[in-house]
Amino acid sequence: MVARTEHAVVIAGGGPTGLMLAGELSLAGVDVAIVERRASQDLVGSRAGGLHARTIEILDQRGIADRFLSQGQVHPVVHFHVPLDISDVPSRHNYVLGLWQNHIERILAGWVDELSVPIHRGREVTGFAQDDTGVDVELSDGTSLRGKYLVGCDGGRSLIRKAAGITFPGWDPTTSWLIAEVEVSEEPAWGFRHDALGTHGLGKLEDGRRMRAVLTEAQVGPASEPTLRDVREALIAVYGTDYGIHSPTWISRFTDMTRQAATYRDKRVLLAGDAAHVHPPVGGQGLNIGVQDAVNLGWKLAQVVKRTSPESLLDTYHAERHPVAARALRATMAQVALRRTDDRTKALGDYVSTLLSMAEPRRRLAAEMSGLDVHYDLGEGHPLLGRRMPDLDLITADGPRRVFTLLHDARPVLLNLGEPGGFELPPWAERVQVFDAQYAGTWELPAIGAVPAPTSVLVRPDGYVAWVGDRTQVGLADALTTWFGPPPAG
């Protein structure tokens, strides 16, 4: 009989989503392990590039944003058909951070290592069986793990999703792009080029020796892996030369296939990141949505594992995150459609560009693309309810504090901005931190503008507001029970 290692949660996949989820669970004191098929965190090719404002805010909430900011390049625009200035969006991080995925993963892996999360490298999940108390997870080396829960963060071709029988409806590809990182013998025509096929781009990589090429193909490419010859032929078709490309480090193909899992949960098996949603990379949404999935799921799963919250709390993960990804899928489909080269689409694109040159449409779409306008449906009430808590500069008895610094331990916070000492939270005192503070500035939210200053707010570990109230505390006990479990007996 093969020995079986047990963990509270097993994560399949050690990319950005899996790493972020592991960090969240570890902060909550949950025994979590990652299964990753790569022997090291090294990534072939730079892959995705860019962290949006809300993702940087999330990293700031955990006290690790500076690790990324020190290695990336700040850009004050997001893209939807045209560049959209976001420098006036009310956030400390009103920009996109240019940083390739290989660096993002390396930094996240370093954080996870500090939290002592085990990563079973050089192995992958080959199957699983779940029962009423957990999931038996079979690995490619013949060993097995058991977890109370299994989370598939294993990409668009997710074995976890397929084995769970979760359907993946959506749209088949209509166009494809070659992407390659290669060395060149001749100086290329750097920048973008537009022709009858679409948009193409050639850019110099960090080392100054290699080129990153993204080339629109004449027709949807085959499912097989592309070769250097394919890249040469595509370059010649567009530029009339292949620039003497050689020594490729990464060649791949992506399409505009757009799909989303019908459900993010099947009993004790959950999905996050690309395992739950795939779409073309225009707008740079995929990695960011995956990391935000992880932060929504992490604290909820931790509370269920610890039995402070009922299993039904996990249903809110799908309820909140599925609509966010569905909207991103529509946005990427619209952007691909606007890239078509026929005259009618060009005319439509001109109208869209005109609309987005106006202040209000620009602000709204910039907030959407940056992830700052996410609004979970938590019912009627104050405009803050269900939205991200702004990172205010507070005055406390211990001196100035930022809101995000109160969330570094991934614990919920009740922020009292009225008379000090007005909130006593037994029996939730062990679960929720209470801070008395003062704030004299305006409250401004992306997309919707100024909102009335609240007297008190309950902030979830993911930074979203679960309750807004005053000293009467009407509805507070219900919100605490809903999000952080019923009061303990006795």
Task: Give the pLDDT of the chain (490 residues) as one tens digit per residue.
Answer: 455 789 999 999 999 999 999 999 999 999 999 999 998 888 676 667 799 999 999 999 999 999 999 999 999 999 999 999 999 999 999 999 999 899 999 999 999 999 999 999 999 999 999 999 999 999 999 999 999 999 999 999 999 999 999 999 999 999 999 999 999 999 998 999 989 888 999 999 877 789 999 999 999 999 889 999 999 999 999 999 999 999 999 999 999 999 999 999 999 999 999 999 999 988 888 999 999 999 999 999 999 999 999 999 999 999 999 999 999 999 999 999 999 989 999 999 999 999 999 999 999 999 999 999 999 999 999 999 999 999 999 999 899 999 999 999 999 999 999 888 778 777 898 999 999 999 999 999 998 999 999 999 999 999 999 999 987 889 999 999 999 999 987 5
Residue with tokens 């949603």: 277
Do 21 and 11 meet the contact criterion of CB atoms below 8 Å apart?
yes
CB atoms under 10 Å from CB of 142, counted, come to 9
Beta-bridge mates of residue 438: 395
So what's the pLDDT on residue 4? 73
Residue 71 CB burial class (10 angstroms; 0-12, 13-18, ≥19): middle
Distance CA 410, CA 59 (A): 11
Beta-bridge mates of residue 49: 100
Provide the strand spans (E) within 13-152.
Answer: 32-36, 49-51, 73-75, 77-80, 82-85, 96-100, 119-121, 125-130, 135-139, 144-152
So what's the pLDDT on residue 1? 41
So what's the pLDDT on residue 282? 85
Q: How many residues does the chain have?
A: 490
So what's the pLDDT on residue 139? 97
Contacts of 164-168 with C-beta under 8 Å, sequence gap 24+, read 164/266, 164/269, 164/271, 165/266, 166/261, 166/262, 166/263, 166/266, 166/271, 167/261, 167/262, 168/259, 168/260, 168/261, 168/262
Residue 373 in tokens: 């306008």
Q: Using CA of residue 12, residue 18, residue 19, residue 22, what is the dihedral sign?
A: negative
Residue 387 in tokens: 């939205």
Helix residue ranges per DSSP H, 165-227: none
Helix residue ranges per DSSP H, 70-207: 101-114, 159-163
The helix/strand/coil state of 215 is strand
Integer angstrom CA distances of residue 39 from 5, 19, 36, 416 = 20, 15, 8, 48
The helix/strand/coil state of 58 is helix
CB atoms under 10 Å from CB of 471, counted, come to 12
415 sits in which H/E element: strand 413-416
So what's the pLDDT on residue 279? 93
Do 61 and 463 meet the contact criterion of CB atoms below 8 Å apart?
yes
Distance CA 204, CA 182 (A): 10
pTM strictly above 0.85: yes
Residue 427 preceded by cis peptide, ω within 30: yes
Helices 16-27, 286-305: axis angle to 10 degrees equals 30
Burial 84-97 (b: 16+ CB within 10 A, else e): bebeebbbebbbbb
So what's the pLDDT on residue 88? 95
Residue 250 in tokens: 């990464």
Distance CA 408, CA 305 (A): 21
So what's the pLDDT on residue 68? 98
CB atoms under 10 Å from CB of 240, counted, come to 8
* Nearest partner of 453 among 381, 375, 373, 384, judged by Cα: 384
Helix residue ranges per DSSP H, 168-307: 228-239, 286-305
